[in-house]
Amino acid sequence: MEKRNRVIFTLKNLGTTKAIDVLKEGLTDPSVLLAHEVAYCLGQTRNAHAVPYLVNTLKNDALHPMVRHEAAEALGAIGGENAESTLREYLNCSIPEIRDTCQIAVNLIEWKNVNKDDADANASHPVFLSVDPAPPLNESENVQNLGKVLLNTDLPLFERYRALFALRNVGTPEAIKFLGEALHQKSSGAVFTHEVAYVLGQMQDKLATQALSDVLADESLNCMVRHEAAEALGSIAEDQTIDLLKKFTNDKEEPVSASCVVALDILNYVKSDQFQYADGLTDN
């Protein structure tokens, strides 16, 4: 799993039509984690060649919701008429992870249509280098105000996501405190809390270690939230989490167990002198 994951991210970095044609073969892989990572990477390329593959994935009721959710988010990242029309078909989906993701993705496309001069605002941070599902709110905004938006369950998820990415960019201990609180806000749903875990992994701040460890250890939570917490712990790379990650490599949920295997590989990479994680073009 570790090696396959590195190859997926290598192909993402290539981003060519040929790379996408290879990646799409993994969208129906028996491993939920791997298929989800493929969908994520296809979205990160922002290459419209991937749209038909992602549309088919979102429409495939036989696939795990975590994979279909990621396909929906990827369609939002790429955009276009075909992506948008498909996403709109699922705005009332009975599966919350799919419904919420499609709503956020449609909101992103709509925001870009209105804010054409800032169309890359969700993919322009010089440190995190990710295509995000929402552009950040103004980072000069008071952190307390951003935190209030983040935690306000009466607001649309898209607006709360915008506060989330603004707080990530601010990166202060106070910002991390708000993110830790949001991580445990079960009433906000799995899509929201899993994105918080993802952002904490991007930040790689050890202040988030305990909150993420608690999420991984809570077997009552949705597997996509625990999966994201595991990979975030791998990115933070604190020795104190190694035993926890090893324990859950045997979790009953494949996305969690496989994520812990990947997380341990990421942790070893972060603590090593390896040049890059996406090393699928090397022989080792």
Q: What CATH number is associated with residue 200?
A: 1.25.10.10
In a domain, residue 124? The reply is no
Q: In the chain, how many domains are there?
A: 2
Closest CA to 122 of 135, 113, 109: 135
Question: Is 254 marked as binding a ligand?
Answer: no
* C-alpha pair distances (Å), 59 with each of 38, 77, 104, 131: 16, 17, 17, 23
Q: Are residues 209 and 257 in the same domain?
A: yes
Domain boundary among 81, 116, 151: 116
Give yes or no: residues 198 and 229 share one domain. Answer: yes
Q: Is residue 122 part of a domain?
A: no
Q: Judge if 49 and 170 occupy the same domain.
A: no
Q: 165 and 55: one domain?
A: no
Residue 2 confidence class, pLDDT cut points 50, 70, 90: confident
Question: Given a cut of 80, is residue 274 above it in pLDDT?
Answer: no
User: DSSP secondary-structure letter at 62?
Assistant: T
Residue 143 domain-assigned (yes or no): yes
125 is in an annotated binding site: no
Round the average pLDDT of the chain to a whole number and report it: 95
| Mean pLDDT across 174-178 | 97
Same domain assignment for residues 111 and 150: no
Torsion from C-alpha of 255, 201, 198, 227, nearest 10 degrees: 10
Out of 116, 148, 179, pick the residue that ends a domain.
116
Of 62, 84, 116, the domain-final residue: 116
How high is the pLDDT of residue 275? 54
Same domain, 144 and 96: no
Task: Please indicate if the annotation marks 49 as binding a ligand.
Answer: no
Question: Is there a domain that residue 75 lies in?
Answer: yes
Rounded Cα–Cα distance for residues 42 and 37 (Å):
9
Does 231 belong to an annotated binding site?
A: no
Alpha carbons 189 and 2: distance in angstroms, whole number: 29
Tell whether 144 and 175 lie within a shared domain.
yes
Asked whether residue 131 is assigned to any structural domain, the reply reads: no
Q: What is the mean pLDDT of residues 64-81?
A: 98
Indicate if the pLDDT at residue 18 is higher than 50: yes
Same structural domain, 45 and 77: yes
Q: Tell me: do 142 and 236 sit in the same domain.
A: yes
State the Cα torsion 34-35-36-38 to the nearest 10°: 90
Structural domain boundaries enclosing 205? 136-284
Same domain? For 181 and 56 the reply is: no
For residue 129, being part of any structural domain is answered with: no
The pTM assigned to this predicted structure is: 0.95
Tokens of 224: 């996509």
Find out whether 139 is annotated in a ligand binding site: no
Alpha-carbon gap, residue 259 to 249, rounded angstroms:
8
Domain shared by 182 and 221, yes or no: yes
Q: Determine, yes or no, domain membership for 126.
A: no
Look at the block and give the residue holding tokens 């709503």: 103
121 is a domain residue: no
Whether the pLDDT of residue 278 is over 80: the answer is no
Q: Binding site annotation covers 141?
A: no
pLDDT of res. 284: 47
On whether both 89 and 181 belong to a single domain, the answer is no
Q: Which amino acid does the sequence have at 170?
A: V
Q: What is the average per-residue pLDDT within 253-269?
A: 95
Q: What is the pLDDT of residues 198-236, one digit of tens each?
A: 999 999 999 999 999 999 999 999 999 999 999 999 999
